[in-house]
Amino acid sequence: MLASAIKDKLRNNKPSIGSWMSMAHPSIAEILAMAGYEWIVIETEHTAIDVSEVLRLIIAIEQRGSIPLVRLAWVDPIQAKAVLDSGAAGVIVPMVNTKAEAELAVAMTKYPPMGSRGIGLARAQGYGVDFDKYVSRANEDLLLIVQIEHIDAVNNIEEILSVPGIDGTFIGPYDLSMSLGLPGQLSHPEVVAAKEKVLKATLKKGLAAGIHFVQPLTAVDDCLKAIGEGYRFIAVGTDILFLGDNCRKMHTDIQRSILGNGF
């Protein structure tokens, strides 16, 4: 399964809403997919999820009708090849700070002559049965999002976006704030200005602007605001906070109810 459905939406300036998972259990993948999110990102940058677990999560996501994407751990051709051959419909590549890194991101995810991705027989190619069909469509239908999360990337944004094969950008606000010496200060004018520079450059190039709203409790308002600003590739929540926030809220509500009723 490739990401043509996502890309069609983005080309038509329609929002595409997905979610995020960091816990490597197929049931969690199924729950998120069954909730109706168009795509689910499997997080491998800040987790211990390995490529064998990615394969199982991709299968679970697909079986419940969503599109599996993977955030890679780095600009890593070996990991990219493994997750794409497992059936990932696209990848988010973190810490793309230069044109050379953007070129590597394209090369490692695209087949020749556009890139240098190795050709094999694996799950993505139907174990050989769908080889011709997959290879003929992969370069066009695969979703490649580069993550802009360092001031160096902001300063190099025009050069980064000049590389053919990139479908969009994805802001990493916390790392971006850290690179500016303003850790966690997401509303600081310098952080806001850097985000706006990336957004404007992305839209000017006709590419999709992406962002992740981690906190589920404010996601609705955050999404509407972002769509008004021009973002179209939007992730909301994450399995950890979906579980944690609801657990904490229920516990707090029960304790308040018990006290309020004199128990």
Measured CA to CA, the distance from residue 166 to residue 144 in angstroms comes to 6
CA atoms within 13 A on the CB side of 97: 9
Q: What is the DSSP letter of 117?
A: P
Q: Based on DSSP, count helices (H) and strands (E) in the chain, helices before strands.
A: 12, 8
Any catalytic annotation for residue 46? yes
Catalytic pick from 25, 46, 212, 251? 46
CA 81/CA 53 separation, integer angstroms: 15
Which secondary-structure segment (H or E) carries 10? Answer: helix 4-11
Radius of gyration over every alpha carbon of the chain, rounded to an integer in angstroms: 19
Active site residues: 46
